[in-house]
Amino acid sequence: MGEILIALIKVVFIWVWVLLCAVVMTWVERRGAAMIQDRPGPNRAGPFGLLQPLADGIKLFTKEDIVPAKAKKILFMLGPLLFSFPAFSTFAVVPFGDKFVIDGKEILLQVSNVNIGFLYIVALGSMAVYGIILGGWASNNKYSILGGLRSTAQLVSYEVPWGLALLAIALVYGTFSLRDIALAQSGTFLGVLPNWGVFKQPLGFILFMVAAYAEANRVPFDLPEAESEIVSGYHTEYGSMRLGLYLFGEYVNIVTLSSLITTFYFGAWHLPYIDMSAFLGPISYGIASFIVFFLKVAFFLWLFVWVRWTVPRFRYDQVMTLGWRELIPLGLFNIFVTALVIQLTA
Amino acid sequence: MLNGYETIVMYLGMSLIAIFAMLGISALLGPFRPKRNKATTYECGVPLFEASIKRYDVKYYLVAVLFLVFDLETVLIYPIALDYRALAVHGWGVFLEVFIFVAVLLLGLVYALKKRAIEWD
C-alpha cells in the first residue's frame, strides 16, 4: 500500500512539475526575447509579468472551440490528443534526481526505472509525428497540409541522427536504463575531466543537440510554422484548448529534451569533482540532487530561447541537406569510431 | 511489488486524464455561438474554388520510405550495443558485425543521395 502511495505521489509530483516548467518556460521565452531585443516584454500581469502564462491559459480556456466546416471532424479532434499525449508522457523514465533514503528504504527520484527506458523514449518520440500529420491533413487547409507535410518530413529525417546519437550512448554505457547511465557518470574521466557523457561523445552530443532542436520544431528548424510562408503551419485551423495542447506539448517537449541532454551528456545530478552524497544527509542529498539536475535543465532551456532569438531560419532544402548529407553520415561515423575505441580498450 | 511498468501506466493515465480535463474545461468555459462564416477555411477570405487536399510532391513520400529503412537498421543495432562491451572482449567479431551494419547503411545512403532522393529545388 505504502509503495503504491509513494509511486502515486511521484507520478503526480513530477507530472505537475514538468508542466509547471513548461508554463514558466513560456514566460521565460517572452521575457528572454524582450531582453535580447532590448524591449520590456510582458510586464503588466503580476510582478515582471510572471502571471502572464496564467492569463494566456485563461484566455485559451475561455475561447470558442471552432471546428471548420470542411475539416474531417474525428481526425481533427484526434490530432492535438495524439501530439500532446506522448509529449506529456515521455518524462516517465527520466531520472530527476538520485534518491531519498527514509528508514533504510530507498526512494528513487524517478517515476519508473525500467530497463527499456531508451526504447520508451524513442517510441513516444516517434508518435508525435502522427498528431502533426493528422492535424494538418484533417484541417483541410492548404497551409495546414503544407505545414504538416514539411513537419513530418523534417521530424522523420532528424529522427535518424537522433537515434544514431542515442545508439552511440548505448554503446558507451551498455544499458538502456536512464538511471544506470546517470549513475555511470560520477567521478572523473581521464583524471581531470568530469566523467560526463559529453566528453566521451562530443560528436554525439552535437548531433543529439541539433536533432533535438529539429525534433522540437525550434529555430533554426521552425519551418513547419514559418509564419511568413504558411501562416502557422499544421495548427492554422486550431483554436481554443486544442491549439493550447499543440503549443503546450511543444514546450513540454523542450523540457523533456533538455532533461535528456542533461541525463545523457551532462552528468544528470552529479556535480563535477564533488560527491554530494559524502557530506549531505539522506534527505538533503535527495533534494540537492533534484536541484542540481533542474539547474542543468534550466541552462539548456535557456539555450533554446537564446538560440531562437539569435539564429535565422533555414531554407527547407537546407534543412533536408543538413539532415541527410551531414548529420546521418556523421552519426554513422560516430558509431564506427565509438565501436572502434571500445574494441581497442576492451 | 511494483516492477516499474505499473507506474508508467499511472503516468500515461495521468497524461490522458489531464488532456481530457483540459479539453473538457475548455468546452465548459468557452462560448458556443456557431456561425457559418466562423467555420470557413482560414485562407484568403474569398470562397475556395478548389480542394485543399491535392496531390503533393512525391519527395515527401520518398523521405518517409528512406526513414523507415534507416530507422529500422538503426534499431537492429540496438541489441548489439547493449552487450557490445562484453562481446568485444572475445575479439573483433562483434566490431566486424557493427562495421558491416554501418557500411551497409552508408552504402544505402550514398545510393539514395546519388539518385538525388533528398534534393529539393
* A149–chain B Cβ distance below 8 A for any pair: yes
Residue A205: CB partners within 8 Å, gap ≥ 6?
Answer: A165, A197, A198, A261, A265
- Which of helix, strand or coil describes residue A107? strand
**Residue with C-alpha cell 506539448?**
A249
pLDDT band at A44, cuts 50/70/90?
Answer: confident
> What sign does the CA torsion over A228, A232, A234, A238 have?
negative
Q: Is A137 on the interface with B (CB under 8 A)?
A: yes
Residue A325 pLDDT level (bands cut at 50, 70, 90): confident
Domain CATH code at residue B85 = 1.20.58.1610
Facing residue for B77 by CB, picked from A8, A60, A167: A167
- Between B33 and A209, the more confident residue is A209
* Dihedral of alpha carbons A312, A316, A319, A321, sign: negative
3 state DSSP class of A287: helix
pLDDT mean across residues, chain A:
85
The ipTM value here is 0.84
pLDDT at A228: 66
**Residue position matching grid coordinates 539518385:** B115
Across the interface, do A167 and B64 touch by the CB < 8 Å criterion?
Answer: no
Question: Measured at the alpha carbon of residue B64, what is the angle toward residues A156 and B101, in degrees to the nearest 5?
Answer: 80
Count how many domains chain B has. 1
Record: contact A174-B84, CB cut-off 8 A: yes
> What's the mean pLDDT in A242-265?
89
For the cut 60, the answer to whether the pLDDT of residue B1 exceeds it is no
CA distances from B23 to A13, A233, B20, B70 (A): 22, 22, 5, 37
What is d(CA A146, CA A174) in angstroms, rounded to the nearest whole number? Answer: 41
- Please name the helix (run of DSSP H) or strand (run of DSSP E) that holds residue B57, with its range, or none: none
Place of cell 471552432: A66
Of A64, A81, A92, the CB nearest to B11: A92
Distance (Å) of CA B4 to CA A4, A21, A27, B9: 11, 24, 34, 9
pLDDT tens per residue, range A258-298: 999 999 988 888 888 777 777 877 788 888 888 888 899 99
Is position B120 within any domain?
no
A108 interface with B at CB cutoff 8 Å? no
Could you tell me how many residues make up chain A?
346
How much is the pLDDT for B2? 67
Task: Give residue-wise pLDDT tens across range A13-29.
Answer: 888 998 899 989 989 88
Alpha helices in chain A (DSSP H): 2-36, 52-61, 73-89, 117-138, 142-173, 178-183, 197-200, 202-215, 227-230, 240-265, 282-308, 316-321, 328-345
Interface subset of B 53-72, CB within 8 angstroms of A: 53, 56, 59-60, 63-64, 66-67, 70-71
Can you give the residue range of the structural domain that contains B86?
5-114
Give me A313's grid cell. 531560419
Cα separation, B68 vs A280, in Å, equals 49
Inform me whether the pLDDT recorded for A157 exceeds 70. Answer: yes
**Partner A contacted by B42 (CB < 8 A):** yes
Please check whether residue B37 touches A, CB under 8 A: no
Of A63, A91, A176, the CB nearest to B82: A176
Q: What distance in Å separates the CA atoms of residue A110 and residue A95, rounded to the nearest whole number?
A: 4
The reply to whether A231 touches chain B by the CB within 8 Å rule is yes
The candidate with the shortest Cα–Cα distance to A244, out of A45, A51, A62, A11, is: A62
**Interface touch B19/A343, C-beta < 8 Å:** no
Report d(CA A134, CA A145) in Å as an integer: 9
Over the stretch A132-153, which tens digit does the pLDDT of each residue have?
888 888 888 888 888 888 888 8
Residues 6+ apart with CB under 8 A from B11: A11, A15, A89, A91, A92, A111, A112
d(CA B39, CA A87): 29
Q: Give B38's contacts (C-beta < 8 A, 6+ positions apart).
A: A64, A66
Q: Which residues of A touch B39 (CB under 8 A)?
A: 66-69
Chain B residues near residue A158 by CB distance under 8 angstroms? none
Residues of A in contact with B85 (CB under 8 A): 174, 342, 346
Contacts A–B by Cβ distance under 8 A: 210
* Residue B119 belongs to a domain: no
Does residue B13 register a pLDDT over 70?
yes
Distance from CA of B76 to the nearest CA of A (A): 10
Say if the Cβ atoms of A69 and B39 lie within 8 Å.
Answer: yes
Contact A86, A129 (CB under 8 A): no
- Whether B82 and chain A come into contact, CB under 8 Å, resolves to yes
pLDDT-derived band at A299, boundaries 50, 70, 90: very high
Provide the shortest C-alpha distance from residue B13 to chain A (in Å): 9
Distance from CA of B32 to the nearest CA of A (A): 6
Question: How far is residue A66's CA from residue A76's CA, in Å, rounded to a whole number?
Answer: 11
User: Cβ of A339 and B95 within 8 Å?
Assistant: yes
| pLDDT at A224 (0 to 100) | 67
* Residue B52 domain-assigned (yes or no): yes
With a cut of 70, say whether residue A56 has pLDDT above it. Answer: yes
Do A282 and A101 form a contact (C-beta atoms < 8 A)?
Answer: yes
The shortest CB-CB distance from B74 to any of A65, A160, A343 is to: A160
Name the amino acid, one letter, at A15. W
- C-alpha of A75 from chain center: 26
Q: Which three cell numbers stand for residue A55?
A: 492569463
| Chain CA centroid to CA B49, Å | 33
Q: Give the C-alpha distances (Å, rounded to integers) separating A252 from A21, A59, A245, B8.
A: 8, 19, 10, 17
- The pLDDT score that the predictor gives to residue B121 is 67
What tens digit of pLDDT does each residue of B83-115 get?
888 888 888 888 888 888 888 888 988 888 888
> Hey, are the CB atoms on B15 and A93 less than 8 Å from each other?
no
Q: Which residues make beta-bridge pairs with A189?
A: A193
C-alpha cell at A226: 514559418
d(CA A309, CA A222): 12
> A106 pLDDT exceeds 80?
no
Q: Quote the CA–CA distance of A195 and A255 in Å, as a whole number.
A: 24
pLDDT band at A226 (very low <50, low <70, confident <90, very high): low
For B82, the closest of A8, A122, A174 (CB atoms) is: A174
Q: Is A90 on the interface with B (CB under 8 A)?
A: no
Strand partners, A188: A194
Structure confidence by residue, pLDDT tens digits, B44-86: 767 777 777 777 778 888 888 888 888 888 888 888 888 888 8
Distance CA B30, CA A239 (A): 11
Tell me if B102 and A335 make a contact (CB, 8 A cut-off). Answer: yes
User: How far is Cα A25 from Cα A41, in angstroms, rounded to an integer?
Assistant: 14
CB contact under 8 A, B26 and A65: yes
- Which band of pLDDT confidence, cut at 50, 70 and 90, is reported for residue A1? low
Residue of A nearest to B25 (CA): A61
Q: In chain A, what residues touch B89 (CB-CB under 8 Å)?
A: 346
User: Is 80 exceeded by the pLDDT of residue A207?
Assistant: yes
Selection from A197, A165, A164 nearest residue A181 by Cα: A197
Instruction: Judge whether residue B120 has pLDDT over 80.
Output: no
Name every chain B residue with its beta carbon within 8 A of the beta carbon of A7.
2, 6-7, 10
Report the residue of chain A nearest B1, measured CA to CA.
A3
